[in-house]
Amino acid sequence: MTLTILSEDEKEVLNVLKDVIDPEIELNIVDLGLVYGIQRNSKTKGIIVSMTLTSIGCPMGDVIMDDAKSVLFNHFPDYKITVQFVWTPKWTPEMATEEGQLHFETH
């Protein structure tokens, strides 16, 4: 799954999220393909991230969500940050970016 066309503001959010690492796979959530949607509204000072996990029962889900909120808040301290999990479509390794695919091939 690829994100729809992103604005420059939304691309900035996506780049910040590359600092969030899935501790079990040791790859960032963007290159894993876990980020399904980003909305950033500069007027209302809000950021909403829709993302998934590699599995519904992922034991690191809370850690990943907290890390995502933390890096976004550190970069956008004046914004209300919302990170929500979605489960459709179900994540598969094929959703990873080219960088993510290379990670899977070498690990």
Evaluate if pTM is beyond 0.85.
yes
Using CB atoms within 10 Å of the CB of residue 19, give its burial: 0 to 12 exposed, 13 to 18 middle, 19+ buried.
Answer: middle
Q: How far apart are CA 96 and CA 98, in angstroms?
A: 7
**With contact defined as beta carbons under 8 Å apart, do 25 and 32 qualify?**
yes
Predicted local distance difference test score (pLDDT) of residue 5: 76
* CATH code that applies to domain 8-106: 3.30.300.130
Q: How far apart are CA 32 and CA 54, in angstroms?
A: 9
Q: Which whole number is the average pLDDT over 3-8?
A: 77
Predicted local distance difference test score (pLDDT) of residue 107: 84
Tens-digit pLDDT profile for residues 42-87: 999 999 999 999 999 999 999 999 999 999 999 999 999 999 999 9
Q: Indicate the pLDDT class of residue 2, thresholds 50, 70 and 90.
A: low
Tens-digit pLDDT profile for residues 11-22: 999 999 999 999
Q: Which whole number is the average pLDDT over 94-105?
A: 93
Q: How far apart are CA 66 and CA 60, in angstroms?
A: 10
- Report which residue type is found at 7: S
From the list 45, 47, 43, the residue with the least C-alpha distance to 11 is 47
Q: Tell me the domain boundaries of the chain.
A: 8-106
